[in-house]
């Protein structure tokens, strides 16, 4: 059996500056994806994620509704955000870059995410888990997310630079090996 994305142990989120003085965090609570994970050659691994844009949650319902509006994600016309990897570049055994296409509002742009591979461990539940942490900076205006307002003292309400954060955990069952003919005979 192949590796499966464990959405219960995964996170897709972002941070940005608010009022030029604080950091706002948000996440997308609903997403699916497929990952082809080659634990022997990470450069042959791929990821394809589909995010439900309306599932944005910043812990502020008014702001979340604004993000769902035509000023930002315009979820009525563009219900999905997608990320599809194109290549992996390793800098060492556990670090590298995941390069792929991020599509928001039907605008596709290449992004580079710095990645850390957490390794593989066997769990107490007869499964294996593998983990990845990805992070990268983008300019939201590249996807038409242009809304802003000028502050009385100067500056803007929302920063253009956004940090994307993706944490993925993959699982697969421990493969049971059938007993050999000799082992069956001894039993």
User: Which pLDDT score is estimated for 158?
Assistant: 79
Q: Would you call 145 helix, strand, or coil by DSSP?
A: coil
User: Which pLDDT score is estimated for 183?
Assistant: 47
The domain locations on the chain are 4-186
User: Which pLDDT score is estimated for 143?
Assistant: 95
* Class of 4-186 in CATH: mainly beta
User: Which pLDDT score is estimated for 107?
Assistant: 97
**What does the angle CA 88 – CA 93 – CA 97 come to, to the nearest 5 degrees?**
30
- Using CA atoms, how far apart are residues 42 and 95, in angstroms rounded to an integer? 10
For the chain, what is the radius of gyration of the CA atoms? Answer: 20
User: Which pLDDT score is estimated for 44?
Assistant: 94
pLDDT in tens, the chain (187 residues): 588 999 999 999 998 887 676 789 999 999 999 999 998 899 999 999 999 999 999 999 999 999 999 999 999 999 999 999 999 999 999 999 999 999 999 999 999 999 999 999 998 988 999 999 999 999 999 999 887 777 687 776 778 889 999 999 999 988 755 555 554 445 4
């Amino acid at each position: 059996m192949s590796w499966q994305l464990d959405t219960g142990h995964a996170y897709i989120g972002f941070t940005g500056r608010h009022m030029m003085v604080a950091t706002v965090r948000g996440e997308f609570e609903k997403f699916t994806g497929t990952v082809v994970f080659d634990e022997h050659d990470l450069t042959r691994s791929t990821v394809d994620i589909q995010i439900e844009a309306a599932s944005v949650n910043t812990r502020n319902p008014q702001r979340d509704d604004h993000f769902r509006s035509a000023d930002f994600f315009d979820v009525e016309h563009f219900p999905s955000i997608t990320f599809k990897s194109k290549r992996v570049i390793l800098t060492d055994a556990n670090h590298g870059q995941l390069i792929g296409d991020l599509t928001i509002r039907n605008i596709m742009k290449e992004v580079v995410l710095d990645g850390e591979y957490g390794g593989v461990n066997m769990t107490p539940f007869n499964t294996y888990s593998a983990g990845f942490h990805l992070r990268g900076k983008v300019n939201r205006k590249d996807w038409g997310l242009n809304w802003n307002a000028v502050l009385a003292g100067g500056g803007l309400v929302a920063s253009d630079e956004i940090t994307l954060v993706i944490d993925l955990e993959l699982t697969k069952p421990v493969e049971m090996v059938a007993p050999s003919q000799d082992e069956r005979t001894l039993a």
